[in-house]
Amino acid sequence: MKTTKTLLAAIALGTSLVLGGTAAVAAGKQKNAEDISFSFEGVFGNFDRAQLQRGFLVYKEVCAACHSLDQMSYRNLAQPGGPELSVDQVKAIAAESTVMDGPDSEGEMVERPGLPADKFASPFPNREAAMAANGGAYPVDLSLITKKREGFHFPWYVSPFIKLVKGNGGPEYVRSVLMGYEEPPAEAAKDAPEGKSYNPYFSAGPWISMAPPLSEDAVEYADGTKASVEQMSTDVAAFLTWAGEPKMEQRKSMGFQVVLYLVILSLLLFLTKKRVWGREPH
């Protein structure tokens, strides 16, 4: 029992060191993400289809080399409220991937081209392979990245109010990390870990194992938008926000109906209540 505990503690410590995510470093060092206004913010905010399509391209061409998107299926790309690619486009995108299926009637596993119903193919067969290929750092699954990472850190006495208005800053976090690579300050540069880059926005930073992933014109947008690092960062942040909650638009539009219904109901109930109680002193 004791040895198990010690072992676990050692593994935990080792892992956190490897991931470069020791709590002490993270505490207070993370720079607040740059607050920009996305189209999907606010009560009425919806996604910008063109932006989601551009963002998907960035994910597919750049991020997908290392990062999985486990919760997403290709079919999601065609569903309402997302990039809304055509079914044919989605079929073509899915077919680019290879899926291990089976066993067939002979008991053999078979490789086949992907279908829209398949999950996004992972770049690595498992976590260990992903870490081995990336110098021991695990490229995090991006399905929920904008939900689980926070870009805004404010003092405790204002934080609850700011977050109510701005949210947790997840989309801004992704954007800022992607375009936030800097020359390390002389002080920090002295003990720069090998193979890591300096990024003050990174949640477990400031040293990040991911080399700057985006460079000018890394992708070619079909709609002719100039593919600057900022543009690509913003687009892929929007795409990953959608991937975090593909049904956000449906949620908001339903919410609008529900709240409106309840407001009218409350008004009617208030008038009824006044009428009923009007006869009686209370």
Partner 1 sequence: MSGHSTYNPTNPVMKWVDDRLPLPRLMYDSFVSYPVPRNLNYWYTFGGILMIMMVSQIITGIVLVMHYTPHVDMAFDSVEHIRRNVNFGNVLQKWHAVGASFFFIAVYIHIARGMYYGSYKAPREILWMLGVAIFLIMMATGFMGYVLPWGQMSFWGAKVITNLFSAVPFFGEAIVTWLWGGFSVDNATLQRFFSLHYLLPFVLVGVVILHVWALHVTGQGNPTGVEVKSGQDTLAFTPFATVKDAFALSVFFIVFTAFVFFAPDYLGHSINYEEANPLVTPEHIVPEWYYLPFYAILRAVPDKLLGVVAMFGSILVWFILPWLDTSKVRSATYRPIFKQLFWLLMIDFFILGVVGANPPEGWWITVGQIATVYYFAHFLILLPLVGLLETPKPLPSSISDAVLAKNADKQPAAQPAE
Backbone φ and ψ of 173, nearest 5°: -60, -50
The DSSP symbol for 123 reads: S
17 binds partner 1 (CB under 8 A): no
245 binds partner 1 (CB under 8 A): yes
**Selected range binding partner 1 among 5-13, 53-61, 84-92, 98-106, rule: CB under 8 A:** 5-13
Residue whose CB is less far from partner 1, 156 or 186: 156
Give a three-class secondary structure readout of 31-49. CCCCCCCCCCCCCCCCCCH
Give me the least distance between CB of 265 and partner 1, in Å please: 5
Distance CA(72)–CA(56), nearest Å, equals 12
Residue 114 CB neighbours (<10 A): 20
**Selected range binding partner 1 among 52-60, 85-93, 105-113, 261-269, rule: CB under 8 A:** 261-269
Backbone φ and ψ of 101, nearest 5°: -125, 175
53 binds partner 1 (CB under 8 A): no
**Selected range binding partner 1 among 60-68, 186-194, 205-213, 245-253, rule: CB under 8 A:** 245-253
76 binds partner 1 (CB under 8 A): yes
Residue whose CB is less far from partner 1, 219 or 237: 237
Distance CA(212)–CA(215), nearest Å, equals 8
Extended strands (E) in 35-147: 98-101, 110-113
Which residues partner with 100 through β-bridges? 111
Residue whose CB is less far from partner 1, 42 or 185: 42
15 binds partner 1 (CB under 8 A): yes
- H or E element at residue 133: helix 127-133
- H or E element at residue 208: strand 207-208
Give me the least distance between CB of 176 and partner 1, in Å please: 16
Residue whose CB is less far from partner 1, 56 or 181: 56
255 binds partner 1 (CB under 8 A): yes
The DSSP symbol for 200 reads: T
246 binds partner 1 (CB under 8 A): yes
Give a three-class secondary structure readout of 237-277. HHHHHHHHCCCHHHHHHHHHHHHHHHHHHHHHHHHHHHHHH
In whole angstroms, how large is the CA radius of gyration of the chain?
A: 24
Residues from 140 through 169 that contact partner 1 (CB under 8 A)? 143-144, 147-150, 156, 163-164, 167-168
Strands 110-113 and 197-198: unpaired
Residue whose CB is less far from partner 1, 140 or 229: 140
121 binds partner 1 (CB under 8 A): no
Which residues contribute to the site for partner 1 (CB under 8 A)? 1, 4, 8, 11-12, 15-16, 19, 21, 23, 26-27, 43, 70-71, 76, 143-144, 147-150, 156, 163-164, 167-168, 170, 244-247, 250-252, 254-256, 258-259, 262-263, 265-266, 269-270, 272-273, 276-277, 280-282
